Amino acid sequence: MAIDYSLEPVLVEGNPPLKELDEVIIRPIDLKPTRKYQVVLAFFVSLLIIGIICTGITFYYGIGMWGNNQPVAWAFDITNFVFWIGIGHAGTLISAILYLLRQQWRNGIARFAEAMTIFAVMCAGIFPVIHTGRPWLAGYLIPYPNQHLMWPNFISPLVWDVFAVSTYFTVSLIFWYTGLIPDFATLRDRATNKIKKTIYSVFSLGWRGSSRQWQHYEKAYMLFAGFATPLVLSVHTVVSWDFAAAIIPGWHSTIFPPYFVAGAIFSGFAMVSTVLIFIRKVFDMEHIITIDHLEKMNKIILLTGSMVGYAYIIEWFMAWYSGSPFELFTTLNRAFGPYGWGYWVMLSCNVFFPQLFWFKKIRRSVPVTLAIVILVNVGMWFERFIIIVTSLSRDFLPSSWHAYRPTLVDFGILFGSFGLFFTLILLFARTLPVVSIAEIKSIVKGAQPVHHEEE
């Protein structure tokens, strides 16, 4: 391993001394919250409260408060579930896959993306549970010896989902916490306040930064990354099987797993960009989360967006090539039926606008990037909505067709999930280092010894 680290490109602009990096990253934690922060937090907490109230209404009056009805039994709830799970995927991609590929630029954004993964999976986890109508019985999904002497149906994709999502959450949490341990040690040794010091001591577990520890730590981190990589691909694959294993036209398709995974990474990167653009501005981290980071993420958005566009084209091709009149009808119905407007929103946001990233000027322009990534978020939400609702509302028999209309409670819970996500993001940004201190230090110029010996 004779890697010449001196040839690395500049990843942290200006080569700040390590002490200054500490200061910059930890400043948001030490300062009192500003007025602006409080206003933004209040806004998202209000959204969260709206969501909680709407969920409470659902529990009290029952699932009839939603627009769902036969045959559209899955609607906003599962749309939101798939949307949020997809958002999470970018975090693991950045932290695990880019780690294995030795893309060191990831160090600046990995912590934030991982946190986003965890919060997004938390938002996602709510929906299947409340969708069952009796969330207090959700414990039966876990195989434990119960009084009914029954086990879950392990050959159902819905049960695979339970295992996939809970494993994903646990592994992401461990990955995130492992990365946080050295940073907690840094926070602990800076803290002057006794209460803060105690809290940081507890979470740092007494980390000493010994090279004997670092050696195992890096090994474990690599193993985690190695496991998280197939895991992240499996999670959205399993989610897509929820659809693909059914025989509904428009769902029963082998392209779903790769199509869903690409879409998940696409939407996830869009969400990471959306939030990071604000974070780097507000917290003065423009030299840590540089314009190069945004450009690289835009390239990935362009790539995955094109993959999603390819999947849309293949859907049309398969509708014709399969020779199934139902498939053809469903595809035509998606584009020109009652929900056709949603299809064109989806198509323009996911396929057309990201193609603007072919231009370097647009890739490196922060306001344009922000506009496009927000559009991508919108488009990806509509994609899941279109897949679920158009297929269910008009399947085989015209006599069983039924239009779906969301109710106010549906919207309330959707907004509530955004409230939860951004509340957690805002709290995270002020309580924990949003950039991994140890990892960013390790890629500053001169941070690694120059090796002259051959081995």
Partner 1 sequence: MADEKKLFGVAALFDTADEIFNAAKKVNEAGFKNYDVNTPYPIHGIERAMKLKSSKLGYVTLFFGFFGASSILFFMWWALAVNYPLVIGGKPYFPLPAFVPITFEFTVLNAVVSTFIAMIAIVFNLPFNAHPLHDTNYMKNVTSDKYGVVIESDDPQFDENKVTEFLKSLGGKSIELIHNPEPKILKAFEPKFVVFLIIVAIITSASTYVTLNKFMYLPPFDFMLNQNKGSAQAESTFFRDKREMREPAKGTVARGFIPYAFNDPADTTEFYSDPLLPTKKVLKLGQRKFLTFCSPCHGNYADGNSRLRGFFPPGPTLHSAKVIGYSDGQIYNIITNGMQGIMPSYAYQTTRDERWAIVNYIRVLQRAQNPKPSDFSAISELIKESGNASN
DSSP annotation of 96: I
The span from the CA of 266 to the CA of 304, in Å, is 5
The span from the CA of 251 to the CA of 257, in Å, is 11
| Size of the residue set binding partner 1 (CB under 8 A) | 75
CB 402: neighbour CB atoms within 10 A?
Answer: 13
CB-based burial label for 322 (10 Å; 0-12, 13-18, 19+): middle
Phi-psi region of 15 (alpha: psi -120 to 50; beta: other; left: phi over 0): left
Tell me: does residue 193 bind partner 1 (CB under 8 A).
Answer: no
Site string for partner 1, 117-146 (x = CB under 8 A): -----------------x-x------x---
Place of tokens 């949003």: 434
The nearer residue to partner 1, 46 or 215, going by C-beta atoms, is 215
CA angle 320, 326, 327 (to 5 degrees): 40
Q: Is the omega angle on the peptide bond into residue 449 within 30 degrees of 0, that is, cis?
A: no
Q: Which of 13, 14, 46, 189 binds partner 1 (CB under 8 A)?
A: 189
The nearer residue to partner 1, 228 or 414, going by C-beta atoms, is 228
Tell me which stretch binds partner 1 (CB under 8 A): 39-47, 303-311, 334-342, 444-452. 444-452
Q: Which of 69, 234, 322, 355 binds partner 1 (CB under 8 A)?
A: 234
CA angle 258, 262, 264 (to 5 degrees): 115
Q: How far is the CB of 258 from partner 1 (least distance, A)?
A: 16
Q: How far is the CB of 384 from partner 1 (least distance, A)?
A: 21
Tell me: does residue 154 bind partner 1 (CB under 8 A).
Answer: yes
Cα distance between the two ends of the chain: 7
CB-based contact 357:301 (threshold 8 Å): yes
The span from the CA of 102 to the CA of 283, in Å, is 27
Place of tokens 């959306």: 274
Tell me which stretch binds partner 1 (CB under 8 A): 221-229, 248-256, 324-332, 343-351. 221-229
The nearer residue to partner 1, 196 or 441, going by C-beta atoms, is 441
The span from the CA of 165 to the CA of 160, in Å, is 8
The nearer residue to partner 1, 217 or 283, going by C-beta atoms, is 217
Q: Which of 186, 267, 290, 331 binds partner 1 (CB under 8 A)?
A: 186
Tell me: does residue 336 bind partner 1 (CB under 8 A).
Answer: no
The nearer residue to partner 1, 119 or 175, going by C-beta atoms, is 175
Tell me which stretch binds partner 1 (CB under 8 A): 69-77, 281-289, 397-405, 443-451. 443-451
The nearer residue to partner 1, 201 or 407, going by C-beta atoms, is 201
Q: Which of 167, 274, 355, 407 binds partner 1 (CB under 8 A)?
A: 167
Site string for partner 1, 237-256 (x = CB under 8 A): -x--x---------------
Tell me: does residue 320 bind partner 1 (CB under 8 A).
Answer: no
Site string for partner 1, 34-73 (x = CB under 8 A): -------------------------xx-------------
Q: Is 69 helix (H, G, I), strand (E, B) or coil?
A: strand
Question: E strands within 231-389?
Answer: none
Which residue from 425, 349, 426 is spatially nearest to 381, judged by alpha carbons?
A: 349
The span from the CA of 38 to the CA of 450, in Å, is 46
Site for partner 1 in 422-441 (CB under 8 A): 437-439, 441
Tell me which stretch binds partner 1 (CB under 8 A): 12-20, 74-82, 307-315, 346-354. 12-20
Q: How far is the CB of 270 from partner 1 (least distance, A)?
A: 26
Q: How far is the CB of 20 from partner 1 (least distance, A)?
A: 9
Q: Which of 217, 243, 404, 421 binds partner 1 (CB under 8 A)?
A: 217
Total length of the chain: 455
The nearer residue to partner 1, 208 or 405, going by C-beta atoms, is 208
The span from the CA of 105 to the CA of 287, in Å, is 12
CB-based contact 236:261 (threshold 8 Å): yes
Site for partner 1 in 373-392 (CB under 8 A): none
